[in-house]
Structure formats: structure tokens, C-alpha cells
């Protein structure tokens, strides 16, 4: 194997592939990235039996072949190279890399010991790349991070005709995003529980590429239990999580008697300032009245903080409700809107937060549900 490639293209390809490699692989070869050259195309691949990544790069090839080297080491090296073309050649049990006056020699691992990447499942449809990336970011923030409850570490993806719905929960908050997409079959009906971290990393990478993301989902036969995403020259697959999320949609009420409208940038600043005095797991208290919101944190024997700001409140004379400050900030950041609309039943039942326009009109498509924290009397 011998080829020349542009430094930026190589660095991007290796960095993206190496990002998903395990830090403690079950076998040494899984810490490697596979470099395979065929017909002037370099394919950089990584696989850990759960997630696979592959990107194709055009190169000037003198000889086809393959080499397996440490992914993280190669990523660090290619990132640090000068902005010049890179010459790479497999020589015996080593990979030689030359860029300008910089020269590196890396040991290789046995190519024959590397597992074959899984095949892409059947194409389910396509979705706008930028919109998909934004939607995933809005929902993944609510996914759990406790590996002892693997179901809650996933994002449920529901494909019903031309509607694509994403939802996630960690039991304390719930995010739901609905959007349009283009199914391969008009009457498609399928769902999948995708690892949230893998989905978020993939969407974040594919979104800036523009165009469309192709979603491939196993529905019996090839690629059973797998989901795949591809855009441009990049593709990735992931195993699905076992199990099902509970019926979390039922947590959204049909009617909310109280509603508050607040500026998102202003509330974010106030919550951040006030929560400086809040210790871990200490809530921030929001007291709504007709045109004022008072945000407080702390207690009688601790440091305390409070700040008032403008707000519009309907459905009652006054209401005090408390939230985990980080969960509240996560939801506000995910709204991606100038206003936050709080839909409230009472201080102990889940509050639904929706994005609002400048005039306070609720924008459809996204909802963030957050559990209040009971206040001691």
C-alpha cells in the first residue's frame, strides 16, 4: 500500500473514525483504524462490535493494500502535521508517514485479525442533515447516562409515514421532537432505540456536511438489530438497544391551567447567577406572578440569592415551583427560541416547556418536560 493524500482530508477522516474507538478494547485490534486503498480511494474504518464508522477519501495511489494502526495515535499525529501533502506507505510490519520534513514510523497490527464491518441495513428514508442534527441535539440532552439502566441511555426513533419523532428520558426530564422526513415507503412504520451518545455524535458530524442524511434500519433479515446513517462519503452503523421505553408520551397533559412566558436569554443568565450559591442537587425556586418572575436559590442557613425579571403569567395569582438548575438550563438551551413557554398544572406535577416566538406564540415540534422538586414546608 502506497498513496499520497491531502493532510486536512486525512486528519478529518482519521479523527472522525478514531472518535468512536473504545478506550479499553476487549482485543487490541479494536483500538486500530483500518486504512484500505482501492482504485485511488482510501477507506478509513473503525469498529468495536457495537459501532462502526467509515469514511472515503480520494487519494493518489501507487499501490493498493491495507494496514491497521493505532487509531488514537494516528489521529494525534495527523492533527499535528504541517499543511502539506502526506505520503503513506506500508513497509513490512510498519506504516511510514511523511509530510514535508516530518517522518513517522508506526507499528501495524495484523489486518487478518480485524473484524469485517457490518453491512448497512435497508434504507428507510432521508432527512435534511442540518435539521436532523438540531433535532437530535434537542432530544439527546434528556437521555440517561446511567449504564445500569441501558434503556434510558437511548433515544427512541419513531418512523411513521412522513413523520419522524425522537424522544428520550432519564426519569427526571423528557424531550420530544417531531419533524418531517422522506420515507423510502409511504406507509413505513418502524421504531428503534438508538444509543444516545452514538446518535448525538453521528448527527453532530453529519449535520454540517449539508444535504441529506440517509437512515437505514433493520426490519428483519440483513442487519438485524442495527441502524445506519450515511451522508456524503461517511457512514456509520450502531447496534440498537434492547427493550422499550415506557409510554412516556402519557406524561404530557391534555390541558395546563397555568402558563408563563419568559425570555430565554434573560432566564438563562438569571438562573446561572442565582444557582452559584446552590449546592449539588439544591433546586432553584421560580415564583411567578402576573408580570414578574423571582428566581431564588439557597436556604435560611446557607448562602442565598434572588433576582427578579419580567415574565407574563396567566391562570393564577402566584405560583412557586422548583427545578434542578442544570436540568432547567439544559431545557432552555435546547429550545432554540427567543421565548420559553412554561405550561404548568401545579408545583408537583411535570411542567412542559415549549419554544415560543418573540410574541410568545408556541412553536410546534419540540417539548421539554421536567419534574419539579418538592419544596419542604
**324 and 364 together in one domain:** yes
Is the pLDDT assigned to residue 148 strictly greater than 90? no
Mean pLDDT score of the chain: 93
On whether both 105 and 186 belong to a single domain, the answer is no
Of 58, 85, 113, the residue at which a domain comes to its end is 113
Question: What are the backbone angles phi and psi of residue 207, rounded to the nearest 5°?
Answer: -55, -50
Q: Does 215 share its domain with 279?
A: no
Flag whether pLDDT at 67 surpasses 60. Answer: yes
Specify whether 54 is located in the same domain as 109. yes
Q: Which of 41-55, 116-130, 297-311, 323-337 has the lowest mean pLDDT?
A: 297-311
Q: Are residues 245 and 260 in the same domain?
A: no
213 in a structural domain: yes
Q: Can you say how many angstroms the Cα of residue 316 is from the centroid of all Cα atoms in its chain? A: 38
- Among 198, 214, 249, which residue terminates a domain? 249
Nearest to 288 by CA among 308, 265, 271: 308
Q: Are residues 259 and 355 in the same domain?
A: yes
Give the pTM: 0.90
Distances (CA, A) of 272 to 259, 267, 326, 349: 23, 8, 9, 24
The answer to whether residue 376 sits within a structural domain is no
Q: How far apart are CA 9 and CA 7, in angstroms?
A: 6
Instruction: For residues 278-282, give the mean pLDDT.
Output: 80
For residue 118, is it within any domain? no
Residue 280 falls inside a structural domain = yes
- State yes or no: pLDDT of 222 exceeds 50: no
Size of the chain, expressed as the number of residues it contains: 377
Interatomic CA distance for residues 256 and 211, integer angstroms: 39
pLDDT of residue 300: 56
The CATH number for 148's domain is: 3.10.150.10
- Among 113, 146, 172, the domain boundary falls at 113
333 belongs to a structural domain: yes
Provide the Cα torsion 179, 184, 187, 191; round to 10°: -60
Residues 105 and 170 in one domain: no
Q: Is the model's pLDDT at 223 over the cut of 50? A: no
- The residues, any chain, with a CB within 8 Å of residue 249's CB and separated by 6 or more, are 167, 176
Tally the domains of the chain.
Answer: 3
- Residue pair 169/247 in contact by the 8 Å Cβ criterion: no
Question: Is 50 exceeded by the pLDDT of residue 221?
Answer: no
Question: Residue 377 has what pLDDT?
Answer: 54
Q: Rounded distance, CA 227 to CA 97, Å?
A: 35
Question: Do residues 260 and 304 both lie within one domain?
Answer: yes
On whether both 300 and 338 belong to a single domain, the answer is yes
Do the Cβ atoms of 159 and 191 come closer than 8 Å? yes
In a domain, 19, yes or no: yes
Whether residue 32 is contained in a domain is answered as yes
* Residue 209 main-chain phi, psi, to 5 deg: -70, -20
State mean pLDDT over 26-51.
Answer: 94
User: Does some domain include residue 375?
Assistant: no
Give 242-264 as a DSSP string: SS----GGGGS-S--SEEEEEEH
Question: Which residue range forms the structural domain that includes residue 109?
Answer: 2-113
Amino acid at each position: 500500500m502506497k498513496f499520497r493524500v491531502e493532510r486536512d482530508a486525512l486528519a478529518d477522516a482519521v479523527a472522525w473514525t478514531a472518535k468512536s474507538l473504545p478506550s479499553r478494547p476487549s482485543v487490541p485490534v479494536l483500538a486500530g483504524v483500518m486504512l484500505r486503498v482501492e482504485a485511488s480511494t482510501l477507506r478509513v474504518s473503525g469498529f468495536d462490535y457495537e459501532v462502526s464508522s467509515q469514511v472515503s477519501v480520494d487519494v493518489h495511489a501507487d499501490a493498493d493494500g491495507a494496514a491497521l494502526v493505532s487509531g488514537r495515535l494516528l489521529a494525534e499525529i495527523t492533527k499535528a502535521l504541517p499543511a502539506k501533502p502526506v505520503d503513506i506507505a506500508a513497509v513490512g510490519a510498519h506504516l511510514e508517514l511523511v509530510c514535508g520534513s516530518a517522518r513517522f514510523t508506526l507499528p501495524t497490527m495484523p489486518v487478518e485479525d480485524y473484524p469485517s464491518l457490518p453491512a448497512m441495513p435497508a434504507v428507510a428514508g432521508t432527512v435534511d442533515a442540518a435539521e436532523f442534527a438540531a433535532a437530535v441535539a434537542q432530544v439527546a440532552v434528556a437521555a440517561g447516562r446511567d449504564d445500569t439502566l441501558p434503556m434510558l441511555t437511548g433515544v427512541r426513533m419513531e418512523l411513521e409515514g412522513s413523520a419522524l419523532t425522537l424522544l428520550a428520558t432519564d426519569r427526571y426530564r423528557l424531550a420530544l421532537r417531531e419533524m418531517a422526513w422522506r420515507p423510502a415507503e409511504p406507509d413505513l412504520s418502524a421504531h428503534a432505540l438508538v444509543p444516545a451518545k452514538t446518535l448525538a455524535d453521528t448527527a453532530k458530524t453529519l449535520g454540517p456536511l449539508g444535504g441529506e442524511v440517509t437512515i437505514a434500519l433493520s426490519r428483519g433479515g440483513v442487519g438485524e438489530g442495527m441502524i445506519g446513517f450515511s451522508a456524503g462519503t461517511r457512514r456509520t452503523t450502531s447496534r440498537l438497544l434492547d427493550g422499550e421505553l415506557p409510554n412516556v408520551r402519557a406524561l404530557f397533559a391534555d390541558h395546563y391551567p397555568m402558563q408563563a412566558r419568559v425570555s430565554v436569554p434573560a432566564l438563562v443568565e438569571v438562573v446561572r447567577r442565582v444557582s452559584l450559591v446552590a449546592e449539588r442537587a439544591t433546586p432553584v425556586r421560580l415564583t411567578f406572578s402576573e408580570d414578574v418572575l423571582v428566581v431564588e436559590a439557597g436556604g435560611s442557613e446557607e448562602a442565598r440569592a434572588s433576582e427578579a425579571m419580567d415574565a407574563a403569567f396567566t391562570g393564577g395569582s402566584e405560583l412557586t415551583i422548583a427545578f434542578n438548575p442544570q436540568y432547567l438550563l439544559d431545557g432552555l438551551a435546547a429550545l432554540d427560541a427567543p421565548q420559553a413557554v412554561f405550561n404548568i398544572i401545579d408545583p408537583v406535577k411535570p411542567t412542559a416547556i415549549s419554544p415560543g416566538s418573540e410574541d410568545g406564540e408556541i412553536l410546534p415540534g419540540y417539548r421539554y418536560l421536567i419534574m419539579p422538586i418538592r419544596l419542604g414546608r
